[in-house]
Amino acid sequence: MEIISKKFDLTSFWDELSLADQALLLLDFDGTLSPFVVDPQQARPYPGVVPLLEKIVLSAETRLVIISGREVASLEHCLGMTPAPELWGCHGWQRRLPGREVLQVDLPEDAETSLREAEWLVKQAGYGKKLERKPVSVALHWRGLSESQKEQMQPLIQQWQRLELNADLQLHDFDGGIELRCVGVDKGTAVKELLGEIDPSAIIAYLGDDLTDEDAFRALPGRGLKVLVRDQKRETAADLWLQPPHELLWFFQQWLEKRGEDCG
């Protein structure tokens, strides 16, 4: 564990959390709660994570929200919590409250046309097994491939760059691939919407690992704890760096203790 921001006081954060009337815990999934795997559908949380999160939801007076690049259906399947907490999928384009149907922001027609073309290009190039099509994006995964195999994908990525210019789409690197995604919504806009729904005095923490989580970190300037969760430290807007899984489990245990029966 390392405190990155000189302005951040972890002891004060825990003290404030124990006294707050409301607490909001925001979590990314892949790379944060779950280790990366070659097949995204085989991803599962680190051992011990789900029981702690279920306790936090049930006994720690905390609103728990998972914000992921995955579709909501895939996120619920891989997360494995019963019942599922509030889920935001596709970087905020999808949202499902506990026990409710999935709500999705409408995708512009020209963006949908370009995404279908991007999907077709991947299949024509023979990388269909590395393709993940989502409602508002297409992702090309190269985890498990050699450097030479990844280099062979460059012409395809250049074709995606041309598509990027013809519609409201943007290329985003992530840990293990690249994604062509519709602009206008990201994890930062999801966090801002959630901030508008809670009391200004609520204590907030966001835990994430990837570059897409930096949008969420930037949406919390001066408000909320920003935690980078990954094996290797990198440049980030986060306040705190944790290495999974042990330091991640420690954080959840601390949260549970501070938001226990005596909280508030």
Instruction: Give residue-wise pLDDT tens across range 113-142.
Output: 899 999 999 999 999 989 988 888 999 999
DSSP character string of 93-104: TEEE-TTSPPEE
Task: Write out the E strands in 62-162.
Answer: 63-67, 86-89, 94-96, 103-104, 131-134, 137-141
CATH 3.30.70 domain locations along the chain? 109-182
For residue 158, which phi and psi values (nearest 5 degrees)?
Answer: -65, -35
Q: What is the mean pLDDT of residues 100-113?
A: 87
Omega before residue 40 within 30° of 0, cis: no
What are the start and end residues of each CATH 3.40.50.1000 domain in the chain? 2-105+185-258
Contact 40, 47 (CB under 8 A): no
Q: Say which residue, 50 or 61, is predicted with more confidence.
A: 50
Instruction: At 35, give phi and psi (nearest 5°).
Output: -70, 155
Sheet of 94-96, strand order = 2-3, 240-242, 225-229, 203-208, 23-27, 63-67, 86-89, 94-96, 103-104
**Two tokens, residue 146:** 């050699």
Coil, helix or strand for 241?
Answer: strand
Mean of pLDDT over the chain: 92
Looking at the domain 109-182, which fold is it? Alpha-Beta Plaits (3.30.70)
The pLDDT, as a whole number, for residue 60 is 78
Q: What is residue 12's predicted lDDT score, i.e. its pLDDT? A: 95
Q: What is the CATH number of domain 2-105+185-258?
A: 3.40.50.1000
Neighbours of 74 (CB within 10 A): 19
The pTM assigned to this predicted structure is: 0.87
Spatial strand order in the sheet of 131-134: 131-134, 137-141, 177-182, 169-174
- Model pLDDT for residues 206-238, shown as the tens digit of each residue: 999 999 999 999 999 888 999 999 999 999 999
pLDDT at residue 196 tops 50: yes
Whether 66 contacts 76, CB under 8 Å: no
